[in-house]
Amino acid sequence: MEENVDLLTQVKNKAHAWLQEEYDKQTREQVKHLLENDEKELIDAFYKDLEFGTGGLRGIMGVGTNRMNTYTVGSATQGLSNYLHKQFADLDRIKTVIAYDSRNNSRFFAEQTAKVLSANGIYVYLFDQLRPTPELSFAIRHLNCQAGVVITASHNPKEYNGYKVYWEDGGQIIAPHDKNIIHEVQKITSISEVNFEGDDQKIQSIGAEVDREYLNNIKGLSVNPEMIERQKDLKIVYTPLHGTGVHLVPQALEKLGFQNVIHVPEQDQINGDFPTVHSPNPEEHAALEMALKKAEQTQADLVMATDPDADRVGIAVRNHKGELEILNGNQAAALLINYLLSQWKQRGKLTGNEYIVKTIVTSELLADIAEAYGVDHYDTLTGFKYIADKIKQLEGTKTFIAGGEESYGYLAGDFVRDKDAVISCVLLAETTAFAKDQGKSLFDQLIDIYTEHGFFKERLLSIVRQGKEGEEAIRHMMDQFRNNPPDTINGQDLMLIHDYNKQKTLDLISHLRYKINLPKANVLQFLLKDGSKISMRPSGTEPKIKFYFSVNDRLSKREDFEKVDQMLEKRIDQIIEALNIK
């Protein structure tokens, strides 16, 4: 009880600071309303400061230190500016680039960011219209910038916006830069320390020229242009879900030679309210409903939907019964990587010095595919910024072919250093065309992969817990599994525990401990005797804890697909029931 009183006192003190003249009238009125009428919302808005997580700065838009608004964006940008001056003190001109998505206030936050950077003597390239996040990553390297910012909350609901910082390599910031920028932000004790008076002479609008270079690089990733020519009429339904893919994805598909791209006109409308979907998240089946309907009307071969900032893509294909079926991120990644490796091998491009990258919660099927082709694979922590860092570490010594994560993010080539739905769309279309050229569907190709490498089935379960109370509930859940792990799960002995927070693996058979050579992270993994893998981690960008389940078995012949599929589905159900986490 005393803790709650102390918290409320702290929150009210922080809120009263926002009643000073440095803050605009509308903000002061909203804060005053919270102080007088809504204690719960007041606490949620002020009980902490937004921090950089796996996706940077992200939160609900509104007043308060724990919300996305002019002042939290301004403070973050002032901290970034101060850090850039320290890191690049030897440069005559520090350069940055800013992009933004279709969300409400995204253009406004981008302009505010540009103003603060330019007011601090930093040169800014500002995209003239909304652009995909991966193009921001490309532009940093293309324009030889020291950093970049994209205003986006990716696939979050419409109430959210965000602020992602990228470093000079084109990847999202990681340690030590993320913590150092936060430290610089925390040193700002008054909003008067933020310089909002922009310098227009230091802000340059960019657009079409960067698009051309980006698209030319994407075209260079195609490994089978002669086959695309044969399958140029492949029926593709594409929707940007009201987001930034609306222009560049169709242009990229056309550039590779695909001539039959079918639109969902209602979802081509750029709109931060995302009026045709409950959530603009291609991981959710409901987001693809309109595209699936269009595909049935047109008898399309492939459906693709990108999220608002076009770094993730969800797909649906014709299954072995001719019905449209939505694939998950692990399946799409397996198909894409298997296609690329097979074509590199067929063309004699595999030298033994190539590699792929996946995250620790992504299907082990990708590792098995890579091994079959004699290609190295690396695991990273969850978040594509770690895949980008691995590319940076190996740059000049090994050749990166592709990378993927279960959350619908994929990348090929190294000119972008983040998951890229524009690249993914064109290469998944090429993969589908290749299957059709062989008289198969993409789903047929997936079954072929399962019969060769084993049938891997995954499922994600997210448990949402809002606000401060929810944060504590999630912390308690992780503590319980970490400190009191079960001996068996679903009748299977627990064999290994990977604790990425302790950076240790515990072998429960030998009782030996091994070091995990990855950065510290609040992730826990249980490996069972039958090869099942359970991963759990709090989300870095949303108020939820995520459980990842992976089970596998042999698929001796194609005819057994449905039987094995149902058996694996049941196994996941039983594991969830045994853990009692619903």
**Which pLDDT score, from 0 to 100, does residue 55 have?**
53
Q: Which of 256-265, 328-337, 383-392, 468-477 has the lowest mean pLDDT?
A: 468-477
Query: Tokens 């029931």 identify what position?
Result: 577
Domain ranges of the chain: 1-47, 51-192+201-206, 214-453, 456-579
Give the residue from 139, 129, 125 showing the smallest Cα distance to 106: 129
Question: Stretch 251-272: mean pLDDT, rounded?
Answer: 98
Segment of 306-310, 318-322, 542-546 carrying the highest mean pLDDT: 306-310
State which amino acid sits at residue 371: E
Enumerate residues 6+ apart whose C-beta is below 8 A from 208. Answer: none
Q: With 50 as the cut, is the pLDDT of residue 1 above it? A: no
**Dihedral (C-alpha) 526, 529, 531, 532: value to the nearest 10 degrees?**
-50
Select the more confidently predicted residue: 398 or 383: 398
Say which CATH class 456-579 falls into: alpha beta
User: What integer is the mean pLDDT of 490-496?
Assistant: 97
Instruction: Give the model confidence (pLDDT) of 405-446 as tens digits.
Output: 999 999 999 999 999 999 999 999 999 999 999 999 999 999
- The domain covering 214-453 belongs, at the CATH homologous superfamily level, to Alpha-D-Glucose-1,6-Bisphosphate, subunit A, domain 3 (3.40.120.10)
Exposed/middle/buried for 283, CB within 10 Å: 0-12, 13-18, 19+? buried
Straight-line distance from the first to the last Cα atom of the chain, in angstroms, rounded to the nearest whole number: 29
Contact partners, residue 291, CB within 8 Å, separation at least 6: 237, 238, 239, 264, 267, 303, 304, 305, 316
- Name the residue with tokens 């990553």: 137
* pLDDT bucket at 53, cuts 50 / 70 / 90: low
At 467, the pLDDT band (50, 70, 90 cuts) reads confident
- 529-546: average pLDDT: 89
The answer, yes or no, to whether residue 260 has pLDDT greater than 60, is: yes
Domains 51-192+201-206 and 214-453 share a fold: yes
pLDDT, tens digit (0-9, with 9 covering 90-100), for 133-172: 999 999 999 999 999 999 999 888 899 999 999 999 999 9
Return the closest-CA partner of residue 419 out of 434, 433, 403: 403
pLDDT band at 540 (very low <50, low <70, confident <90, very high): low
DSSP for 465-488 reads: --HHHHHHHHHHHHHHHHHS--SE
Judged against a pLDDT cut of 90, whether residue 251 lies above it is answered with yes
For position 470, what pLDDT does the model report? 86
Which residues touch 357 (CB under 8 Å, ≥6 apart)?
377, 378, 379, 380, 387, 390, 391, 400, 403
Q: Is the pLDDT of residue 464 over 60?
A: yes
- Provide the pLDDT for residue 581: 87
Say if residue 541's pLDDT is above 70: no
Q: What is the pLDDT of residue 3?
A: 54
Which pLDDT belongs to residue 175? Answer: 87
Per-residue pLDDT band at 56 (split at 50, 70, 90): low
Which pair of structure tokens corresponds to residue 159?
Answer: 């109430």
Query: Percentage of the chain surpassing pLDDT 90?
Result: 90
Contact 313, 285 (CB under 8 A): no
Q: What is the pTM of this model?
A: 0.94
Residues 6+ apart with CB under 8 A from 535: 360, 361, 523, 524, 525, 547, 548, 550
Q: What's the token pair of residue 271?
A: 């709109």
Residue 166, phi then psi, degrees to nearest 5: -120, 150
Cβ neighbours of 196 (radius 10 Å): 14
| Residues 561/566/569/570 CA torsion (nearest 10 deg) | -150
pLDDT of the residue at 326: 97
pLDDT digits (tens, 9 = 90+) for 160-217: 999 999 999 999 999 899 888 888 988 988 899 999 999 999 999 999 999 999 999 9
Closest Cα partner for 23 from 200, 194, 197, 198? 194
With H, G, I as helix, E, B as strand and everything else as coil, classify residue 577. Answer: helix
Q: Which residue has the higher pLDDT, 539 or 316?
A: 316
73-120 pLDDT, tens digit per residue, is 999 999 999 999 999 999 999 999 999 999 999 999 999 999 999 999
Q: What is the pLDDT of residue 4?
A: 66
Return phi, psi of residue 501, to 5°. Answer: -75, -40
Average pLDDT, the chain: 95
CATH number of 51-192+201-206: 3.40.120.10
Confidence of residue 579 (pLDDT cuts 50, 70, 90): very high
Catalytic residue among 75, 154, 342, 441: 154
Among candidate residues 434, 429, 426, 446, the one with its CA nearest the CA of residue 235: 429
550 is catalytic: no
Q: Calculate mean pLDDT across residues 248-276.
A: 98
